[in-house]
Structure 1
Amino acid sequence: MSSFEAQFFSEIEKLRVQLLNDPMEEVQRAVREISQDEILAQIEGVILGVVTSLSRDEVPVLELPNRSSWANVSFDSVVGLQMSSERSATSVRSDCPSSVSKFAQILKILSVIYRLVQSNSYATKRDIYYNNTQLFGSQRTVDSIIDDISCMLKVPRRSLHVLATSKGLISGDLCYLEEDGTKIDCHPSSAAVSVSSNIAGIKNIVSSAKFILIIEKDATFQRLLDDNFCAKLSPCIMITGKGVPDVNSRLMVRKLWDTLHIPIFALVDADPHGIEIMCIYKYGSVAMSFEAHSLTVPSVMWLGLLPSDLQRLRIPAESLIPLTKRDESKLNSLMKRPYLTSQPDWCKEMELMQQNKVKAEIQSLSSIAPDFLTNIYLPNKLRYGGWL
């Protein structure tokens, strides 16, 4: 083993032990499984409420927790953003022209979910949309209502027997079995593996990976895949949600953390959008805060691209991009987020971006050398502990 390899493995092992022993970085795992009977009972309770209102000649009303309000969210350093117990709700009335369609859509999807759970079968969100395209109008409507129902019933979406097609990709030192017994081998090849649509069903995870690398963009992921990054430096796992991650990509990162207990790094663009994507993996989002316990991984570390890297590496000015007014607005919003009070080093990086008024994509590193990202930037970052 070379001195470089020895130092690298030493740094990663120290970090792994630190994460395991730091109580503030332990992600809660005690998420109680919801039985099928409980889900059926909750749906029956909702329908009974509607029928009771009708029998009393009252207007049926459904109360949905407001999933878009920061006022409904609290921050916990161990869990991330989570929905408060005292949260405001939105009334969906059956006698109001602006909400009667949504009322009917919710009841229809509840009936579909009831049959799926009762028969222990599964359907995709797209299946549900095509079940009645005229009623739903768009796939987005179905997606949003399913999350509303999950939040209303306080049940993880996967327990509703509704699956979503994954957009994420994964590659590296990893093998596992799907729920139907299919063996998935993610070892580096010319093509990555699509993230499973049923993360809860994954079992028998086998890996000797030393760390997990979350990559913001598919283009960077493919570049590292082509360069055989996972095999060159050390056994590792790479995953990308291709931008803003879908729920399955986030569930997969959490599943790997719960199973492997290895460091997780994020490689994102040095811009407000990239930072927000990293924060979604680490702390969660307002819209999905009701399911924070199974989606967030507060141990995620910012590996790059750091705003301070732009100066330190002397990235050419022509590779830097001026911040737009929208970027500045997003940056100001991020710096007010409750979780950044516990990340002073992150705040310094964001203040530097604010002062310099420039951003940069990961691809800007190729302006230094075509192989700079794979052969120099990432190995040195990992070797010398260049993460925040």
Structure 2
Amino acid sequence: MMRNRAAREPEEERQVLNSIENVILEIVTHLSKSEAPALVIPNRSSWDNVSFDSVIGLQMSSASAVRMIRSDCPKTATTFSQILKILSVTYTLVQSNTYSTKRDIYYNYPQLFGSQKVVDKIVDDVSCMLKVPRRSLGVLATSKGLISGDLCYLEEDGTRIDCHSSTAAVAVSSNIAGIRNIFSSAKFILIVEKDATFQRLLHDDLCAKLSPCIMITGKGFPDVNSRLMVRKLWDVLHVPVFTLVDADPHGIEIMCIYKYGSMAMSFEAESLTIPSIKWLGLLPSDLERLQVPRNALIPLTKTDENKLDSLLKRPYVTDQPEWLKEMKLMQKNRFKAEIQSLAAIGPDFLTNIYLPNKLRYGGWL
């Protein structure tokens, strides 16, 4: 299903169309020579293809390793067909200046793709191959994130969105590029890892109790739209961005995705990362400082330990010595804790004491 007009400049449209045409021309050239065509896709699942820049975060190396998708190989022939279909769909979308969701694409061709995850992966592969942001392809993803606080803006179709409600959050837009007329008096943005914690802070009317602020959650590992939204707000409002995550390897990795980006989306790092993000909590050192009851702490599992070891080897860790110290403390104590563990100190401790004091006295890293 095609949707409303997308926010793309003519020059941007021409660039995308030219890139797709060049891919198709190369395929036709091979066929004219009775050669089996192949597509070359940068490998988005290898740390060897990623470099670290303290200003941008994780970005794909210019000399990245690639995957060869051959049309005459049984293992890759289906993938070759799937990529061609996505190229065809995106060419039509860009040419007609419309957009579609990834879910629409899957339901239009369920037999070809087999699952929604395949569509998601192929769209990102095509975006990486063409070296254009995914939004430029006219393909949008359904958002899972929520946002609330001192914020109003207009959607591309003119719909006015007001996020001030203290009882219900607003779903993050699927078309971040189309958002305009952003108005906010927020003093900071708070990224909350979990939906449960986000809902608790919403219920406690955190934004009214503290300075005007904006809260957003990606409900765990963030989708691209949630990351784009935070980045857009940071670009427009120029306010500090804090993260509130569990004191465990999973939470730390989620925070790092917002700040430094991810390996899989490193080709689009400049529009997704927020280098100035601060770690507000829950810090491993907070567990000792606040004397969180031992029965509220959880022993690290083997999976946790492996994840922590992996994080400690990431290229950006040496750029954050205070973060490294916190991770080493977790590794030493072999305990983790959810944000909800603070309820063991007091039912309203998180909203009434922990967050206000952290923000007032600069208790972040």
Same fold (TM over 0.5): yes
Given that 1:124 and 1:164 are in contact with CA atoms closer than 8 Å, whether structure 2 keeps it comes out as yes
Correspondence 1:278 to 2:225? no
User: Deviation digits for residues 295-318 of structure 1, max 9, x if unmatched?
Assistant: 000100000000000011111111
Give the 3 Å change call, closer, same or farther, for CA 214–310 of structure 1 in structure 2.
same
Equivalent in the alignment of 2:320? 343
Distance 1:154 1:322 in 2: 43
Correspondence 1:205 to 2:182? yes
Equivalent in the alignment of 1:95? 72
Q: Which amino acid aligns with 1:118?
A: Q
Equivalent in the alignment of 2:13? 36
Equivalent in the alignment of 2:291? 314
Q: Which amino acid aligns with 2:53?
A: D
1:35 aligns to what SS in structure 2? Answer: helix
1:266 aligns to what SS in structure 2? Answer: strand
Q: After TM superposition, where is structure 1 displaced by more than 2 Å over at least 4 residues in a row? A: none
Task: Tell me the CA shift for residue 131 of structure 1.
Answer: 1.4
Task: Tell me the CA shift for residue 188 of structure 1.
Answer: 3.0
Equivalent in the alignment of 2:131? 154
Q: Which residue of 214, 217, 220 corresponds with 2:194?
A: 217
RMSD across aligned C-alpha pairs, in angstroms?
Answer: 0.9
Q: Which residue of 248, 252, 256 corresponds with 2:233?
A: 256
Given that 1:175 and 1:206 are in contact with CA atoms closer than 8 Å, whether structure 2 keeps it comes out as yes
Give the 3 Å change call, closer, same or farther, for CA 248–34 of structure 1 in structure 2.
farther
User: Deviation digits for residues 93-144 of structure 1, max 9, x if unmatched?
Assistant: 0000000000000001110111111111111001101111111111000000
Unmatched 5+ stretches in structure 2: 1-8
Equivalent in the alignment of 1:22? none
Correspondence 1:68 to 2:49? no
Task: Tell me the CA shift for residue 189 of structure 1.
Answer: 2.4
Task: Tell me the CA shift for residue 38 of structure 1.
Answer: 1.3
Q: Which residue of 220, 225, 244 corresponds with 1:243?
A: 220
Equivalent in the alignment of 2:120? 143
Equivalent in the alignment of 2:95? 118
Distance 1:33 1:336 in 2: 43
Equivalent in the alignment of 1:26? none
Correspondence 1:83 to 2:83? no
Given that 1:73 and 1:82 are in contact with CA atoms closer than 8 Å, whether structure 2 keeps it comes out as yes
2:255 aligns to what SS in structure 1? Answer: helix
Equivalent in the alignment of 2:361? 384
Equivalent in the alignment of 1:269? 246
Equivalent in the alignment of 2:337? 360
Q: Which amino acid aligns with 1:86?
A: A
2:164 aligns to what SS in structure 1? Answer: coil
In the TM superposition, what are the counterparts of 1:281-296 in structure 2 within 5 Å? 281-296=258-273
Unmatched 5+ stretches in structure 1: 1-31
In the TM superposition, what are the counterparts of 1:161-240 in structure 2 within 5 Å? 161-240=138-217
Correspondence 1:133 to 2:149? no
Q: Which residue of 271, 293, 306 corresponds with 1:329?
A: 306
2:63 aligns to what SS in structure 1? Answer: coil
- Identity across the alignment (%): 75
Q: Which residue of 74, 85, 99 corresponds with 1:108?
A: 85
Q: Which amino acid aligns with 2:273?
A: T
2:316 aligns to what SS in structure 1? Answer: helix
Q: Which amino acid aligns with 1:37?
A: R
Task: Tell me the CA shift for residue 37 of structure 1.
Answer: 1.3
Equivalent in the alignment of 2:5? none
Task: Tell me the CA shift for residue 35 of structure 1.
Answer: 1.3
Give the 3 Å change call, closer, same or farther, for CA 34–284 of structure 1 in structure 2.
farther
**Aligned residue-pair number:** 357
User: Deviation digits for residues 46-86 of structure 1, max 9, x if unmatched?
Assistant: 11111100000111000000001111110000000000111
Distance 2:180 2:258 in 1: 22
User: Deviation digits for residues 355-384 of structure 1, max 9, x if unmatched?
Assistant: 100000000000110000000000000111
Q: Which amino acid aligns with 2:166?
A: S
1:345 aligns to what SS in structure 2? Answer: helix
1:296 aligns to what SS in structure 2? Answer: coil
Q: Which amino acid aligns with 2:189?
A: I
Given that 1:188 and 1:230 are in contact with CA atoms closer than 8 Å, whether structure 2 keeps it comes out as no
2:276 aligns to what SS in structure 1? Answer: coil
